[in-house]
């Protein structure tokens, strides 16, 4: 099976917004960011399992590249050019908006495409995706040696096609906010909903943090399959996850009986705003809400929406172009 790989040249500042542009395109199946500076940063870090291969850094070159995967390919040669044109249209609007922000440079955003086999795609993930350390928790790809990690301080992930590998700042911010709740004793034994679960990284982390019941839910069958697979991968290390975590395909708002003490919603600003009351209805009294995936230009609108519903802000994290917040009500 073949996929279209769309590559765009950008900058470190522009990489995550560009990845989000691709994620909103038709037939989107996954995205990777290749930033040589990330590897250099990792090499300077204290984590014993982090490293950077100098040959790999040299091979990546100096520009930051965002590669989106689309498909499966229909067999029409012109589909690749159509994908580039669709991206160019979005990139044009993005560049106009970026020009209004002082000091923000998205780079040239030049795009190209090629066909890639799904087997080659898997090799791309394995070549560039490395263990991520977030607040003392390691997110480890399933092909790495697990023996070097202490039990209770890692989860295993097969990135696959689903969003959520621990690399994106929106995901990392969510985990940092979850750590705050854990330290306050508000995770152990609690119920947790991972809304728009993607790879299941937040739900699996919640189970690792001791939540008594974890529901990972997504409308995308690819995400549901990936999250279910990742849950199975972790059962060999944490067999009790089997009785505490589940993955559901569908719309949370059609499951009135599913409520939680903590809800993590790492989704788009539009969805957070449009569904604020319905999200709040699934939160238990005295519960906590983690919101992420909020770009700067929408932050005030999102936060005002939830303030008007009676939520109080406990913690606000800003990383790059992204905002995340921990809220409570009651």
Contact 261, 192 (CB under 8 A): yes
Query: What is the reported pLDDT for 51?
Result: 32
- In this predicted model, what pLDDT tens digit does every residue of 194-243 receive, in sequence order? 999 988 999 999 999 999 999 999 998 878 988 999 999 999 999 999 99
pLDDT surpassing 60 at residue 40: no
For the question of whether the overall pTM of this predicted structure is more than 0.85, the answer is no
The b/e string for 257-274 (b: 16+ C-beta within 10 A; e otherwise) is eebbbbbbbbbbbeebee
Q: Which token pair is 46?
A: 């204290």
Question: What confidence tens digit (pLDDT) does each residue in 260-305 have?
Answer: 999 999 998 999 999 999 999 999 999 999 999 998 889 999 999 9
Q: Across the chain, what does the average pLDDT equal?
A: 86
Residue 58: both structure tokens together: 């040299």
pLDDT surpassing 60 at residue 45: no
**pLDDT for 165:** 62
């Amino acid at each position: 099976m073949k996929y279209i790989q769309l590559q765009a040249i950008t900058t470190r500042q522009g990489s995550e917004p560009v990845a989000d542009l691709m994620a909103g395109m038709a037939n989107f199946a996954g995205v990777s960011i290749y930033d040589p500076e990330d590897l250099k940063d990792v090499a300077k870090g204290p984590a014993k399992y982090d490293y950077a291969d100098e040959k790999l850094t040299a091979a990546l070159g100096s520009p930051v590249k965002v590669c989106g995967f689309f498909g499966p390919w229909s067999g029409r040669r012109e589909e690749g050019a159509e994908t580039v044109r669709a991206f160019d249209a979005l990139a044009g609007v993005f560049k106009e908006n970026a020009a209004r922000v002082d000091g923000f440079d998205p780079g040239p955003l030049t795009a190209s495409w090629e066909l890639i086999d799904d087997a080659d795609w898997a090799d791309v993930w394995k070549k560039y995706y490395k263990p991520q350390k977030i607040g003392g928790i390691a997110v480890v790809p399933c092909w790495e040696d697990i023996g070097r990690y202490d039990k209770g301080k890692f989860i295993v992930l097969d990135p696959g096609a689903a969003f959520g590998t621990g690399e994106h700042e929106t995901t990392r911010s969510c985990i940092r906010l979850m750590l705050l709740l854990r330290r306050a004793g508000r995770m152990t034994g609690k119920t947790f909903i991972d809304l728009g679960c993607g790879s299941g990284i937040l739900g699996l982390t919640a189970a690792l943090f001791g939540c008594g019941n974890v529901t990972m839910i997504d409308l995308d069958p690819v995400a549901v399959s990936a999250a279910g697979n990742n849950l199975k991968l972790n059962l060999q290390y944490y067999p009790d996850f089997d009785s505490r975590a589940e993955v559901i395909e569908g719309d949370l708002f059609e499951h009135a009986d599913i409520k939680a003490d903590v809800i993590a919603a790492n989704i788009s600003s539009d969805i957070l705003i449009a569904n604020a009351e319905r999200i709040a209805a699934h939160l238990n009294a005295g519960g906590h809400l983690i919101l992420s995936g909020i770009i700067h230009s929408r932050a005030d609108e999102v936060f005002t929406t939830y303030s008007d519903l009676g939520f109080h802000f406990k913690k606000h994290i800003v990383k790059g172009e992204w905002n995340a917040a921990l809220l409570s009500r009651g």
